[in-house]
Structure 1
Amino acid sequence: MRSRSVLVLALCWAAVFFDGFDVMVYGAGLPYMLDDASFGLDAQTAGTIGSWTTLGMLLGALGCGSLTDGLGRRPVLVGCVLAFSAGSGVCAVAGSVGVFGAGRFLTGIGLGGLIPVCLAVVAEFTPAARVPLATGILMSAYHAGGMTATGVGLWLAPGHGWRWAFAAGVLPAVVAVPLLLRFLPESPAVLWARGRRGKAAETALAYGLPDPAAGPGGAASAGSGGRLRAVAALVGREHRAATLLLWLASSCGLMLVYGLSTWLPQLMRASGYGLGSSVGFLMAVNAGGIAGMLLAGWVASRFGAVPVAGTWFALTSVSLLLLSVRMPVPVTYVLVTVTGIWLYSASTMVYAVAGGFYPAALRAPGLGWVAGVGRLGAVLSPWLGGYLLSHGHGTWGFPVFAAAGVLGAVAVVLSRVVRRGPVRQEVPDGVPEAGRGARTA
């Protein structure tokens, strides 16, 4: 990869780091919020607020994935960072549960829009053979941010109150936005579609990308009519079956991600673990998530994203079923970390599968809709966890989420079976450029 392409990956990594922080800070602060009698939050309402957050993510992913080709990817990405930073600020000063929920909804809009845009940017500026690895590296930032949020929660919440943990979520507006505005390039395809053809060619040359005049680029999807045509193409005869299966796999993956991100500490408390260790398990699962992203990206670069995603989903189910059995705390820490290796990268590899499946003109809306429809699982899981805990069924949580892992494995494997027509190639490392046309994804 060229150094400039690495810079694009680094900038998107920083943005996703703060995305992960603002997602995970809710789960890290939730045990302390539930213990704060003056705030008046109970488990079922907390689950509902978690679902509001993921509903905002759904709207953000669907809206921003379609807006990028018209407005540009950099402005949309910056707007997402500003939105979730502002939402965290509202949560920090909220005087009621309702205002806090509104803040989390605003946070969700920014959080949901950011990752599909970053995935599309990284996929465009990365050599094709390196896209799965770059995707894994990018999404490791999410878990680094989650670990940081857990650390901030453990450090600030016990002595200074949970509000300070949310106040730290305002930092992205101060740190990330200036860097993105200064150094992140705009997509050559978007520049070409907006008539800035000289700038598009200059950017493509500087970053070693194909000439936008020679390929489909983004012109076909520019404007509202083009975006509607892109969405119609996603569910048209050629792509329909695989698209629906990818939506299902993404829903299962995000059900796992947001269910465990929100409720892991409380599920562990329901199993008899103490408050400190229960919150610590959230840090352990994110540590596993970082290792899992790098491992999954490396393996997928050699064997393809589909077998890795399917295997990771299945291993997640096995690990979650083991977590439903009470074990000594040190053993549980190891098991939680191993669970993180499979759990988070399973859902991320669904994006790598989608990025390798859709052609260039459909990649941004395709990723946006895979991530956006997947938010249906993310909307359901916080509410479901809250329902189980508030009705005394906390021990059912891990088996229920394990079932989602089995369904995700089946869906992602079937998405490869039902593909129609030519797809963008998944090229393992070491395959020369001349041999790429002979391979299939």
Structure 2
Amino acid sequence: MSSSPPTASRGGRLALLVLGLCWLAVLFDGLDMFIYGSVLPHLLETKTFGLTADRAGDLGSYATFGMLVGALAAGTVADRIGRKKLMVGCVTLFSLASALCAVSGTLAVFGLGRTLAGIGLGGLLPTAISMVCDYAPRGRGALVIGTLMTAHHTGGILSAYVAKWLVEPVGWRAAFWVCVLPLLFAPVLARFLPESLSFLVAKGRTEEAHALAARYDTEPPAVQDPKQRPADRWNALLNLFRAGEWSQTLLYWLASFGGLLLVYGVATWLPTLMRGEGYALGSALSFVVVFNLGGVVGMLVAGRAADRFGAPRISALWFALTAVGVYLLSVHLPMGVTMAVVFLTGVFLNSAQTMIYATVSLRSTPGNRATAVGWTSGMGRFGAVFGPWLGGQLLASGHGDLGFTAFALAGVSSMVFIGAAALRTSRRGTADEGGAELAAAH
């Protein structure tokens, strides 16, 4: 390595390297997350493992439950072993779990594979966001986070193409074998990804952190107070319920529950529900591509709109538009119109939930912001578990046509809850502060 002084351009190139590596990791995260929904119509049609709609909903919830476990455990594990090692471990875990799905001979083994994959998926995304935040060039944090978040939906697009190209001619197992390929990427992460600045500072390796920060043209994080105790963190949680804050906190949690129910319910069941509306399998998978393209655009648009009009207003409006779009999907419209509706639904749905985190961040005190956003995300994860299960139950009971209606109602409920919460307190903080926090809990 050269001993010459680092330059801004060199620091920018290295920061792009960190972003690029994390972007690829999150791309594989999205591929593994969406692949189940992409192959699900085929699994149900061929009755693989004797799969029924209600069991399929259970399987979808296994992965989201694993994500809940992974997200909750990620912070503790990262504090012990470091964010870099955790990212490598998460990529390895969900890749091997996909191999388990690919070779599974029973529904129980397949379900175990999806649960383990969920743990890896849940731990990866918040860790990757932390990494790119640490190395983002000065004044570019929001742009870097927004760019990273597009990778998840790009993975969803890739999952649809994998299913279209492989499931019919080769079989569903081939799709899961593709999801094993990120295992080859784990050594690349281990070799080229630097350790998190926040982790180095927390471990007292301040000289190493300052050297890396200078190389990446970014500010090193402040040294944390060594007197911070677990009791202080519990006190931060209790502050969310003191002095009349309990009602606002519960409204945020309920909005997040409905938002993630909608996100993961639609992500799991969109191809199957569209197939039930009379569309061919190829067309149903094309909707997944268009939906995730909308998600990419939405992530880039929502932040700018929130900066101008306020995150609470955008969140409420986005959920209202999402509810309309999801409901319209139950109406058999001309193909071009349906594609437009799917695209716009993707634009609003995926970023509406993100705007909940922005709202919570903006309306929290600086000392309690991380706790407020983290717990809002955690409570929402229960909705992520419930959404896939709900879709399966509706299909199993012969009410699959009500699936889009049920998900639309979830959007309406989140609109009401986030709107009510926004009315209860005056705006605090700045849009820039919210932008840095909002993605960390997604």
- What does the per-residue CA deviation read over 1:153-183, in whole Å, with 9 as the maximum and x for residues that have no partner? 01000010000101111122212x2333233
Query: Is 1:350 paired with 2:360?
Result: no
Query: Is 1:30 paired with 2:35?
Result: no
| Aligned mate of 2:298, from 266, 279, 292 | 292
Query: Is 1:319 paired with 2:325?
Result: yes
Partner of 2:31: 21
Query: Is 1:427 paired with 2:418?
Result: no
Structure 1 window deviating more from structure 2 (23-32 vs 331-340): it is 331-340
Query: Matched residues in 2 for 1:82 and 1:32: separation?
Result: 27
Structure 1 gap segments, 5+ residues each = 429-441
Partner of 1:381: 387
Query: Matched residues in 2 for 1:316 and 1:225: separation?
Result: 40
Query: Matched residues in 1 for 2:233 and 2:65: separation?
Result: 22
Query: Matched residues in 1 for 2:179 and 2:281: separation?
Result: 23
Once the two structures are TM-superposed, the CA of residue 76 in structure 1 deviates from its matched residue by 2.0
The change in CA–CA distance for 1:81 and 1:364 in structure 2 (over 3 A counts) is farther
Query: Matched residues in 2 for 1:183 and 1:364: separation?
Result: 29
| Percent of matched pairs sharing the same residue | 46
Once the two structures are TM-superposed, the CA of residue 302 in structure 1 deviates from its matched residue by 4.3
Once the two structures are TM-superposed, the CA of residue 103 in structure 1 deviates from its matched residue by 0.3
The change in CA–CA distance for 1:332 and 1:75 in structure 2 (over 3 A counts) is same
Q: Secondary structure at the match of 2:278?
A: coil
Map 1:112-261; keep pairs closer than 5 Å. 112-126=122-136, 130-175=140-185, 177-213=186-222, 217=224, 219=226, 231=237, 243-261=249-267
Partner of 1:411: 417
The change in CA–CA distance for 1:289 and 1:32 in structure 2 (over 3 A counts) is same
Query: Matched residues in 1 for 2:194 and 2:225: separation?
Result: 16
Partner of 1:436: none
Structure 1 window deviating more from structure 2 (163-172 vs 410-419): it is 410-419
Letter in 1 for 2:213: A
Once the two structures are TM-superposed, the CA of residue 140 in structure 1 deviates from its matched residue by 1.1
Once the two structures are TM-superposed, the CA of residue 343 in structure 1 deviates from its matched residue by 1.1
Once the two structures are TM-superposed, the CA of residue 25 in structure 1 deviates from its matched residue by 0.3
The change in CA–CA distance for 1:131 and 1:348 in structure 2 (over 3 A counts) is farther
The change in CA–CA distance for 1:135 and 1:100 in structure 2 (over 3 A counts) is same
Structure 1 window deviating more from structure 2 (21-30 vs 37-46): it is 37-46
The change in CA–CA distance for 1:304 and 1:206 in structure 2 (over 3 A counts) is farther
Query: Matched residues in 2 for 1:160 and 1:311: separation?
Result: 43
The answer on whether the counterparts of 2:154 and 2:296 sit within 8 Å (CA) in structure 1 is yes
Query: Is 1:392 paired with 2:398?
Result: yes
Q: Secondary structure at the match of 1:160?
A: coil
Query: Matched residues in 2 for 1:69 and 1:419: separation?
Result: 34
Query: Matched residues in 2 for 1:358 and 1:199: separation?
Result: 33
Query: Matched residues in 2 for 1:42 and 1:354: separation?
Result: 39
Q: Secondary structure at the match of 2:49?
A: coil
The answer on whether the counterparts of 1:139 and 1:348 sit within 8 Å (CA) in structure 2 is no
Q: How many residues align?
A: 423
Once the two structures are TM-superposed, the CA of residue 72 in structure 1 deviates from its matched residue by 2.4
Structure 2 gap segments, 5+ residues each = 1-7, 434-442
Query: Matched residues in 2 for 1:345 and 1:321: separation?
Result: 18
| Aligned mate of 2:106, from 90, 96, 100 | 96
Query: Matched residues in 1 for 2:109 and 2:341: separation?
Result: 37
TM-score normalised by structure 2 residue count:
0.85
Partner of 1:435: none
The change in CA–CA distance for 1:251 and 1:283 in structure 2 (over 3 A counts) is same
Partner of 2:335: 329
Query: Matched residues in 2 for 1:39 and 1:320: separation?
Result: 30
Once the two structures are TM-superposed, the CA of residue 319 in structure 1 deviates from its matched residue by 0.8
Once the two structures are TM-superposed, the CA of residue 47 in structure 1 deviates from its matched residue by 0.4
The change in CA–CA distance for 1:264 and 1:220 in structure 2 (over 3 A counts) is farther
Partner of 1:432: none
- What does the per-residue CA deviation read over 1:113-159, in whole Å, with 9 as the maximum and x for residues that have no partner? 22222233334444686544433322211111001011000100001
The change in CA–CA distance for 1:314 and 1:25 in structure 2 (over 3 A counts) is same
Q: Secondary structure at the match of 2:431?
A: coil
The change in CA–CA distance for 1:211 and 1:282 in structure 2 (over 3 A counts) is closer
| Aligned mate of 1:339, from 345, 358, 362 | 345
Q: Secondary structure at the match of 2:180?
A: helix
Once the two structures are TM-superposed, the CA of residue 38 in structure 1 deviates from its matched residue by 5.0
The answer on whether the counterparts of 1:120 and 1:363 sit within 8 Å (CA) in structure 2 is no
